[in-house]
A and B are shown apart, each in its own frame.
Chain A
Amino acid sequence: MEIFLELVLTGIMVGSIYALVALGWTLIYKCSGVLNLAMGELTLLGAYVCLAFYTWGFPFPAALGATLIIGFLLGLLTERLFLRRMIGEPVLSVVMVTVGLSFFFRAVVGFLWGTDTRVFDPPVFPREPFRLGQMVFGQVYLWSFVAAVVLLVVFVAFFERTRWGLAMKATADDEMAALSLGVSAKRVYALAWAIAFMAAGVGGTLLGNINGLNISVGTLGILVLPAVVLGGLNSIPGAIVGGIAIGVLQNLSGGYLERFTAGGVKEIAPFVFMVILLLFRPYGLWGWVKIERV
């Protein structure tokens, strides 16, 4: 029983990081309808940026803050350079652009930082485990959880409280109507990419702290796909719940099924789950069903 609880709780903590990345993904999809296949690489890039600042001697919170700022700027830049000109083009072309971006970012990371596994050195979080009754967790999970939750709260508050948050939600609902009120769709898209980069950067950093940092963090980042499919592609609460659920699922399958196989169940389980889910609930848990009044 303890093992089960431990797996579930660790899953929730890792899942909160996925939730953060998934939120960024959903935001882009919701506002501009772009299916962003470069999300994994965004996490990768963010993680390396933070590592760079950390190795230059910045304290970790400052490095994380710098990652957020750089992420914001990179997001604006990416949107301006690559996606702005794709507005109005067929969906598939835009998706292909994001695939191109994913290769590009991966190559940039390889070029700048190499392909060896790097770790945050000295370790950011204390190594001593954290105990809760009989259960034992790494502190890194706990603090990642705290950081992810704080950022999630900030983002959600941004959507609920601020003018631009509201403008983003409005654009997601009806772009033409938002335009008619003077909301600039281009700025909304740019902001969506900026936030996605920020979320992915922090998510990548936290994942990098858990396992060490190499190209595979990018594949962890792509776990947002099952997460957002579970939540419904365009629901922000859905992305958060989906992310956490995928974390738990991954951990449980790792804990219970790994011993029967040659390994790798942990990586595959979320995708198997996604396929099954798509068969039965293609809209996910909270995907938009258009509101129809009868």
Chain B
Amino acid sequence: MAEYSQTNRSDRRFRSLLESLNAGVVIHDANTQIVEFNSKALEILGLTKEQITGKTAFDPHWHFIDENHQILSVDEYPVNRVLETGKRLPATLFGICTENCTSVTWVSVSGSPIKNPDGAVEEILISFIDITKRIETQKNLRESEERFRMIFESLPKLSVQGYNKDREVIYWNKASEEIYGYSKEQALGRKLEELIIPDNLKEDVIRDVSNWMDHGLKIPSSELELKRADGTPLPVFSNHIMLETPEGERELYCIDIDLTNLKLTEEKLRENEERYRSIIAVSNTGAWEYNLENEYLWTSPEYFTMLGYSPDDFNYDFETGISVWQQLMHPEDRDSASRRFLDYLSGEMKDPYENYFRMVHRDGSTRWIWSRGQNLKNPDGSPTKIVLGTHIDITKSKNAEEELKQREAYLSSLLKTIPDLTFVLSRDGTYLDYHADESNLLLSPQQFLGKKVSDVMPQEIANLQMEAIEQAISGRKLVEFRYSIPEEDEIHHYNVRVVAFGLERVIAMITDITDSVRNLNQIKELLKKEEEQNLRLVNFTHIVSHNLRTHTANMLGLISLTEMETPEVFEHEYLRLIKESSSHLEETISHLNQVLDINLEMGENMTEIRLKPVLDAIIQNLALQAKRSGVTIRNEIPDDLHVRAVPAYLDSILLNMLTNAIKFRSDQRDSYVRIYQKITGSEVVLSFEDNGLGIDLDRHGSKLFGMYKTFHGKKDSKGLGLFISRYQVEAMGGRIEVSSKPGVGTTFHIYLPL
């Protein structure tokens, strides 16, 4: 204490210095007993003067813990460490814990040995600063940082990357690994532009980053297309933050959101919309949307283009409402269609809206529009204020429908004008429907509708009907049959025509042909009588002609015999006249026979005949007669001309034509007859041209080819020849014409089918 007194003044200075310190100070002696302390030490340690005085390092009341909350042994206490090492203890973190360690006071402890001149440690100075608050704050910060780090790490699809000023990766979260395909290990330390920046962006990125680092020019958030480890592009939305470390280093953090799915969805949406739009465009469908609340009408361009307009043709915005629609509407439909739409809107709008009306195309034509709409529903199914709908141009089908209606009306009125009975029957023979004046029905409709033919008609007729139904359906053709049925006093005849429509039904049209059958029967009977009469007449004619011929033949025979035996008697004129008359009689009868022999249905006896040789033969036969009469005959028919004819008729016609020309030659000039041909279409024309007497056609034309007409007053003319020729030509399907001029000549034209 003496010493203490001696040093009283410095001691007081020292003491006040101790007290003024913001740090706790404790001085231990070499036995670790506390010999000096200041009040700050008491405060920090939570001890009183009495509690601390004389204490050694070991004290069961409290103990030191390390930063990891491990209780330290006495040897590890700062005083013992200094004592043991004899060296300074730099500021070290310790926790001071009393009793149960419910609360910890964190202190930064430094220690210094105070040595005597021998170098032995005499005293130990321990100073400590309460840093509990700082430690707590640091811990909280660390925890929060850890939490954020965890969040960053675990953010799915949210890539967080940190870069230093050299653009080297200092942070790479899990999402970055997933999104960019580089593991954390691969990424750390590598440059931004080496990893995820595509070539075309590299320069920009390097420039932008250094501008931000050096000049504070912020990189704005944006959509970018970056690059994955495998080189594939990656759409991202990229945010950038610049952070500054306590050391003043700038770090760039990028937070990238993977847009791949979003892009895909967007694309899909666009695709869908495009598809929808193209469907609309192709199908000539206009879309509309009506908002009840503000009475806005939205329409797609097709709404107008389908009517030949452009949307720009209308000074039109949402607010014009449905007036655009009404404006384009056909005047006749305007009121009713509008009413219908407004009725729908004012109702519950549970069912879809549907309406047909006409709108007027720009070209003035009327278009039938099929409008359909539907209320947009809330998720809970309640109606919203929006109705969506479409306009479809159904003009074509509507026109077809109208046409069908008109046709139906036409057919039905046509049907009504037919006095027939018409039944619709199913394939199994059931009467399905009928059309008839009921007075024409034998049974009331109730008696046959729904019943089978076999239940209604006699078996034989039912069989015919069923057969006809089957034939009509399977053969797809009109099938006809007839039946007769006794009604009252007369047998009635019916003609049935059956046509199929579809595979299961037929229409049977039944015509009462009783009258025509009766008429036909009468005609048949008449015809039969006629035929009998005709046959009798033919026979009679044959007999007459034969008998006549017998006698003329005898007369001619007798005359020729007389000529042989007593030719001188013919010097008598009367006998000469008898001879001449007999010849004429013979010729007449011969002609009559030819007429009888012409069969008007000779078609099957027609053959192909080469004309020229036949004609030559006839000319040969007539050569003497022609020479005697001074007539030249010229055959100008080509060698290869063939005609279809009945040989006997052809002979007869050719002969007749030539003999006529010879007979009716003119004595005034050298006579000729030339035969030539011409082919016109499906006919061959044989012409016989002479320069004979000619015929006055004005007087005789209509009678020229009649029976027993003569036109020349020439003694040999008997006139039957042309009549026969005409009938023979006609029997072969041809015709004969004449052109003539009295005193000039005549040309006969014989037309024969090829």
**Is B a genuine binding partner of A?**
no
Q: Which residues of B contact A (CB under 8 A)?
A: none
